Amino acid sequence: MKYAFITAIAFSALIGLPTASTAGSQDVVVEGAWSRASIGTKRPGVAYLTLRNTGSDPVSLVGLETPLAMMPEIHETKTDANGVSSMAPAGEITIPAGESVSLEPGGKHAMLMKLQRKMVEGENFSLTFNFADGGQLTVNVPILGVAARGPQD
Ligand SMILES: [Cu+2]
């Protein structure tokens, strides 16, 4: 009897843990994910989407993972006064409570460096977001045509 009681407590502590360690990031939803087909694998691929934080705590995105690319990274494109665009790693991205961050052409984007295979129009790939609280969110990203400018195309 006593043994069974202790086991029950240990079990409830165990199932309680994941909830505690991902406070915040479980409230993040991804909307409108899309990407473009690639010509080959030499140049990086790109994915766009909106991360919405529906919770009441800020959430920080710290990294990406995908079986499609060895080095996925959030980049930010900036255009200078001469109209010249360049991009650099965006670093950690904090999504305030109740707000959203968009990855879109000309701004932040998921750069898929070291592609493991060609991105083929009509196919999908999984993209995982890693958050500072240890939570993860995996979404399926559809691959649109090489010239696509958005999910409506
Ligand atoms: Cu980039």
Q: How many Cα neighbours within 13 Å face the side chain of 69?
A: 27
Note whether residue 4 is domain-resident.
Answer: no
Separation of CA 88 and ligand 1 centre (Å): 7
Q: What percent of the chain has pLDDT over 90?
A: 77
Note whether residue 89 is domain-resident.
Answer: yes
Note whether residue 10 is domain-resident.
Answer: no
Note whether residue 71 is domain-resident.
Answer: yes
Span 94-127, pLDDT tens digits:
999 999 999 999 999 999 999 999 999 999 999 9
Taking Cα atoms as reference points, which of 102, 114, 125 lies closest to residue 43? 114
Rounded Cα distance between 100 and 85, Å, is 24
Sign of CA dihedral 131, 133, 136, 137: negative
If one counts the domains in the chain, the total is 1
| Average pLDDT estimate for 68-72 | 97
Give the CATH number for residue 63. Answer: 2.60.40.1890
pLDDT-derived band of residue 150, with 50, 70 and 90 as boundaries?
Answer: confident
Separation of CA 101 and ligand 1 centre (Å): 16
For residue 92, pLDDT over 90 is answered with yes
pLDDT-derived band of residue 21, with 50, 70 and 90 as boundaries?
Answer: very low
Per-residue pLDDT at 8? 52
What's the one-letter identity of residue 132? Answer: A
| Average pLDDT estimate for 39-59 | 96
Quote the DSSP letter at residue 66.
B
Note whether residue 2 is domain-resident.
Answer: no
Per-residue pLDDT at 5? 54
Note whether residue 61 is domain-resident.
Answer: yes
Asked if residues 142 and 125 have their Cβ atoms less than 8 Å apart, the reply is: no
Separation of CA 56 and ligand 1 centre (Å): 30
Domain span at 110:
24-144
Note whether residue 1 is domain-resident.
Answer: no
pTM of the model: 0.82
Quote the DSSP letter at residue 23.
T
Note whether residue 106 is domain-resident.
Answer: yes
